[in-house]
Structure 1
Amino acid sequence: MQLLEKLVTTPGIPGREEKIRELIKDELNKIADEVKVDGMGNVIGIKKGKSSSKNEAKKVMVAAHMDEIGFLVKHIDKKGFLRLEPLGGFDARALVSQRVIVHGKEELLGNLAPSTKPPHMLSAEEAKKKLEVKDFFVDLGLDGDKVKELVNIGDPVTLKQDFVELGNSYSAKAMDDRIGVYVMLEAAKELDYHEADIYLVATVQEEVGLRGGKTSAFGIDPDVGIALDVTIANDIPGSKEDEMVASLGEGAAIKIMDAASISNYKVIDTLKEIAEDKELSYQMELMAKGGTDAGAMQQSRAGIPTAGISIPTRYVHTVNEMVDKDDVNSAVKLLSEFLKTCHEKDFSL
């Protein structure tokens, strides 16, 4: 799993995806006929259909966002403590006692801490205060002058965590959505024959409003779109059974809806048929909160038939996002089989 480890550990917050973009470009150059970067910064790898002319080939777009949640430095005080502007959704409870990397003139490791007294000094009333993301600062262990020499306002800040194997799972920061990028790349490698022209797109700025998915879909104008992203696996203590979106180990999730899209039912049916025919484990996903690039593609131009293949993930938007190995393999196989046969289908309504 060296590729997945490289993907999750390479930094790339919204708008500053340059390092992860170069890694993905290198990988796409191994499998695509053409690789380009559009004006927004999306990486687009094109695999031409084997037997179709340029004018006849159906275009299928696969989108997985490369950006991860993170921060920008917005203030440096005289002692060298950094205040942050979040990019993406954070739960402040998951930030306590974490470490970050500040990508300044050099990479600087720092402690992320809330601006509050130590627990043993808090009054009962102070202890009840709810933490907010705006309460956190970064301590680089350097004096103010040195920090200002190495760090500028607007420098990216990413969370720090190792990639580890836990039982039948992998855990790391930025599985959202580097695991989607991984599935896209691995599925493309499995293609021995396909008639559709396949556009493999690593999108930017998804975490701040599906921005790269919108612009890339407009430029490609595909006949059908598949969004690859994580979905909530809340199969853990504290969740009710009827509130569960997905579970680890039960296969790739076929998206019915999320907060940004309702999937084309013909694409859903095709994915289900493939999963059942190939005896792939799958589950159905309805996620009422949280959108994906499916919404950006679906609403492009006059509308694109779109659905999603999601990888169930525990502890989303934390440094310990966890995926199941078998679910990942199921997603790779489901996508590759769809790409082999989608030219035969009519997804119009």
Structure 2
Amino acid sequence: MSLDRIDMPLLKKISETSGAPGFEKNVRKLLIEELKDIVDDYYVDNMGNLITIKKSNTANAKKFMFAAHMDEIGFMVKYIDDNGYIRFQTLGGFDPKTLTSLRVKVHGKKDLLGVMGCKPIHSMSAAERQKVVTNEEYFIDCGLSKEEIEKHVKIGDSITRWQEVEMIGDLINGKSLDDRVCVYALVEVMKALKNQDVPVDVYGVFTVQEEVGLRGAQVAGHGVSPDFGIALDVTVANDIPGLSPQDYVTQMGKGTSIKHFDGGTICDRRMVEYLETVAEKNEITNQPEVLPFGGTDTANIQRMPKNGSIAGALSIPMRYLHQTTEMAHPTDVVAMIDLCVKAVTEIDSIVIND
């Protein structure tokens, strides 16, 4: 069973650690502790990306970069009113209807639990009940006075959703599995490569500020300047009631998806076909992905190197993306790890000049 191959305590720790865009320090610290004795070298660039390196014994080896983003969608404190209610700036894309009664943590001098509040339905007019509440109408209630709040919290502090990771049926559930489940997968990839000879220098990059515009990958893509690159992210699994199969994008439990297209990237055909070939050869479960919207770090991995890179992406199908509880299938996580490891060790076979 795929779940047997997943280190659930580690995945839980990675997912539950706070790290809104621009506030990834705690996640980065956790990853450094996890990988510092595994990789050959690591460093943190000026943007805050964590770059870990597995070196090749091959002379003049090419560079192969994986990237998974550390940040999660979150909020920033922008105002505390006279009654202690906190108003916020969103950091990343939110569906406002998912905020009602959402439990959050406000990260000040100490963490404060809070809940998203808005006008209750009992107090809404008939017209108001027909409208979706906007982000601006929400506030955070920590159950404390303004004076108590300001002992711990100031303008500019970060706020993240709070929820524990747990299994529901056969599926992994929790907050911020976008992209922490892929962060976990990349950690396992770097561990798996520790004692292997690889034909390329492998850069396992954990990027910052993806949710607000792929910003960390822009710096890391330029700084590492890889020959090959793969972004590791989640994608939409619309295999739910009310949607036709043509709108599924991907399905849970059908394996990692090999991306062809998203709103920011047309993946390099050489990388797409290479990943398909490696998956077939090694009997790794996979599925194609054409995502008509959204984007991933792939865009900047592909474009920012001096000469560009041969870039693609692998995704983990996810239900309820950017909602309160996100869901992933263990089979898809394991397939991503396996395909990454094989893609690195067999990279000599890719056709560079086609």
Classify the TM-score, shorter chain: over 0.9
Aligned partner of 1:7 in structure 2 is 14
Structure-to-structure mapping, 1:120-269, within 5 angstroms: 120-191=122-193, 192-269=196-273
For residues 271 and 99 of structure 2, the distance between their equivalents in structure 1, rounded to whole angstroms, comes to 38
TM-score (norm 2): 0.95
Q: Which amino acid aligns with 2:144?
A: L
TM-score (norm 1): 0.96
Aligned partner of 1:81 in structure 2 is 85
Residues 1:21 and 2:28 are matched in the alignment: yes
Secondary structure at the aligned position of 2:272 is classed as: helix
Return the offset for 1:120: 2.3
For residues 226 and 347 of structure 1, the distance between their equivalents in structure 2, rounded to whole angstroms, comes to 15
For residues 47 and 259 of structure 1, the distance between their equivalents in structure 2, rounded to whole angstroms, comes to 31
Return the offset for 1:193: 2.4
Whether the aligned pair in 1 keeps the contact of 2:262 and 2:291 (CA below 8 Å) is yes
Of stretches 66-75 and 190-199 in structure 1, the one that deviates more from structure 2 is: 190-199
Aligned length: 344
For residues 255 and 46 of structure 2, the distance between their equivalents in structure 1, rounded to whole angstroms, comes to 36
For residues 207 and 123 of structure 1, the distance between their equivalents in structure 2, rounded to whole angstroms, comes to 35
Q: Which amino acid aligns with 1:145?
A: E
Q: 1:52 aligns with which of 58, 63, 69?
A: 58
For residues 330 and 340 of structure 1, the distance between their equivalents in structure 2, rounded to whole angstroms, comes to 16
For residues 178 and 125 of structure 2, the distance between their equivalents in structure 1, rounded to whole angstroms, comes to 38
Whether the aligned pair in 1 keeps the contact of 2:167 and 2:173 (CA below 8 Å) is yes
Whether the aligned pair in 2 keeps the contact of 1:34 and 1:46 (CA below 8 Å) is yes
Q: Which consecutive residues of structure 2, in runs of 5 or more, have no partner in the other structure?
A: 1-7
Q: Which amino acid aligns with 1:329?
A: V
Structure-to-structure mapping, 1:26-37, within 5 angstroms: 26-37=33-44
Q: 2:309 aligns with which of 281, 297, 304?
A: 304
Residues 1:321 and 2:321 are matched in the alignment: no
Residues 1:342 and 2:347 are matched in the alignment: yes
Return the offset for 1:162: 1.1
For residues 319 and 126 of structure 1, the distance between their equivalents in structure 2, rounded to whole angstroms, comes to 23
Residues 1:43 and 2:50 are matched in the alignment: yes
Of stretches 35-44 and 240-249 in structure 1, the one that deviates more from structure 2 is: 240-249
Secondary structure at the aligned position of 1:11 is classed as: coil
For residues 168 and 148 of structure 2, the distance between their equivalents in structure 1, rounded to whole angstroms, comes to 39
Whether the aligned pair in 2 keeps the contact of 1:227 and 1:309 (CA below 8 Å) is yes
Q: Which consecutive residues of structure 1, in runs of 5 or more, have no partner in the other structure?
A: none
Aligned partner of 1:288 in structure 2 is 292
Q: Percent identical across equivalent pairs? A: 42
Deviations 1:128-166 (A, max 9, x none): 222111211000101111112211000000001110112
Q: Stretches of 4+ moved more than 4 A in 1?
A: none
Q: Which amino acid aligns with 1:153?
A: I
Whether the aligned pair in 2 keeps the contact of 1:58 and 1:343 (CA below 8 Å) is no
Whether the aligned pair in 2 keeps the contact of 1:305 and 1:348 (CA below 8 Å) is no
Whether the aligned pair in 2 keeps the contact of 1:311 and 1:323 (CA below 8 Å) is yes
Whether the aligned pair in 2 keeps the contact of 1:160 and 1:319 (CA below 8 Å) is no
Whether the aligned pair in 2 keeps the contact of 1:59 and 1:223 (CA below 8 Å) is yes
Return the offset for 1:302: 3.0
